[in-house]
Amino acid sequence: MAKELLTRDQVNVEDTWNLKDMYSNDSDWEEDIKAILGKTEELVKFEGRVCESADTLLQVLELSAFISEKLEFAYNYAARLFDEDQGNTLHQSMNQKIFSIMAKISSDVSFIDPEILACDESKLEEFYDKEPKLDLYKKQIKEVQRLKAHTLSAEMEKVVAMTAEMSNTASEVYEAFTNVDMKFPTIKDEDGEEVELTHGRFVPFLMSANRRVREDAFKAYYDTMKDYINTLASSYSGEVKQRVFHSRVRGYSSNLEAAVNANNVSPEVYENLVKTVNANLDKLHAYVSLRKKCLGVDELHMYDIYTPMISDVAKKVTYKEAQETICKALAVLGDDYVELLKEGFANRWIDVYENKGKQGGAYSATAYGCHPYMLLNYNDTFDDMFTTAHEMGHSMHSHYSNSAQPYIYSNYKIFVAEVASTCNEILLLEYLLKNCTDKKERAYLLNHYLDSFKGTVYRQTQFAEFEKITNEMVENGDSLNAENLSTIYKDINERYYGPDMISDPEIAYEWARIPHFYYNFYVYQYATSFCAAVAIAEMILTEGEPAVARYKKFLSSGCTDAPVELLKIAGVDLTTPAPIEAALAKMGEIVKELEELV
């Protein structure tokens, strides 16, 4: 681990993503912006006559698709530049510029959906008969019609669209404050050397076998969060308030309903997850008890939750080693899948290591017409290998959908976004277990499997519950502040982890470090997707090619149907609690096996 972070210009270029695959230079990006604005000027001339004829409707839909595709492409370029160093003022300006343009265009073209909704169904059918090219847009029009009850007049849609840039303020403040302005102290590492604490180093420190390092990192990190907790609470409160505005102006009963309905998912799926997980907290409590036993401590603290339960087995995994192992593990998905993996690794789809100002965490992003891009903050840990496999799952999902679908149907809904990524992780873990001959190493891998259940099903549902409660508070007229946010979070944490876990005072501030709370009810999908992925991986490993074929059909489906229906192609039905119950039953079995091994 480097003692000080490198600046962006000090990073080995081969370890960075190649954004020239999008634009050879910033001037080309500027030219695309001009073209987008020019096409937008053409499109707005159709206001008031979208459904004047079959030809005008076609022109409107084609122009709209062109603008959306180009705008998404331009946004991704600016966003990737910004994320590689958020302290770069030029890239800050480009990112702000594209957000402003997106907000303006959203307002300018907001007349389209209301005018389509005002068009009589019989008239639309006449248009389809007269203009065969409109067949491509039938599903898109039906999706617009599905949201009719929550679509406003053209004038009101324009007003709401004008709030888009303002509505991003809370998340922009949070990102800038936590990634650029907030500074953490140094702590002593395992060797007794002073090392700067950062977002990227926090979890690796918590994974340390040295309990003093874990505790020092935990307390230093959250003590810093506590110093700024009122600012962070105000930022989150602002995020929730803007959601309330948008959900109410569109006639939704709650923020939750507005968020999930946008993805054509019922709120019952969300509530079913929280209910089913809470009914199965005994598995998490058993895991906590086993962790306490394995670590041999009188008291288990929250800073003990990341370190492996099985000691002296964890080893560093270099980025090169991770690539090789991932390709072997995912060979069950076919030669075409593995060749794409190798292409991504070899051709700089990935920004690998942490540098000053770089966005924390990891993600995959893609723009139609270019390969996916992945951001990592690789630290040579076992978990980093799994993160790489996870993000490659996102990238492959995007590649398959973009290759199979026209632009307007290529963007799969967020609800299914975590299925492919998690399936990759599970297949990697099952591969490692299958090829493991050492009893202690198997125990270590089972530990990792349990940590995945803990971190993805239970932890994300814990987040989902916190998000639901805090949004409902604002909806009911209550205010959010540092004190009640921290109290709510700590209470949920105590309930989830049970009596064998000491919920340290510092854990009350953990909500403030979770950027996903600004993603509008995103996190529950990690949990539902994990449960779906457990089922899909099992089918792939037991059935072979038929299951792989179904899975790739799902990956290639984009947003051609409701996400719950698309998952049924792969063999999973999340309209019932069965996949969640089955996944948590599997966790219970793994806990018992690990208990026997240790």
Active site residues: 391
Q: Other CB atoms closer than 10 Å to residue 47's CB: what's the count?
A: 16
* Beta-sheet strand order (sheet of 350-351): 350-351, 373-375, 363-365
Going by their DSSP bridges, the two strands 300-301 and 501-502 should be labelled as parallel
Per-residue tokens: 104: 């303006």
- Cα 465 to chain centroid distance, Å, stands at 17
DSSP letters for 337-363: HHHHHHHHHHTT-EE-S--TTPPPS-E
Q: Which residues contact 275 (CB under 8 A, 6 or more apart)?
A: 577
Using CA atoms, how far apart are residues 519 and 75, in angstroms rounded to an integer? 18
- Cα 240 to chain centroid distance, Å, stands at 19
Using CA atoms, how far apart are residues 492 and 302, in angstroms rounded to an integer? 14
258, 261, 242: which is closest to 250 by C-alpha?
Answer: 258
Using CA atoms, how far apart are residues 212 and 189, in angstroms rounded to an integer? 9
Amino acid at 561: D
The three state secondary structure string of 425-494 is HHHHHHHHHHCCCCHHHHHHHHHHHHHHHHHHHHHHHHHHHHHHHHHHHHHCCCCCCHHHHHHHHHHHHH
Identify any residues that bridge with 301 across adjacent strands, giving them in sequence order: 502
Question: Cα separations (Å) of 326 from 143, 295, 428, 438, 560?
Answer: 38, 29, 6, 20, 30
Per-residue tokens: 350: 């990935």
Identify any residues that bridge with 195 across adjacent strands, giving them in sequence order: 187
CB 375 within 8 A of CB 362: yes
* Angle formed at CA 268 by CA 263 and CA 273, multiple of 5 degrees: 95
DSSP letters for 146-202: HTGGG---HHHHHHHHHTHHHHTHHHHHHHHIIIII----EEE-TTS-EEE--HHHH
Per-residue tokens: 516: 């996903």
Using CA atoms, how far apart are residues 432 and 444, in angstroms rounded to an integer? 11
23, 35, 96, 45: which is closest to 66 by C-alpha?
Answer: 35
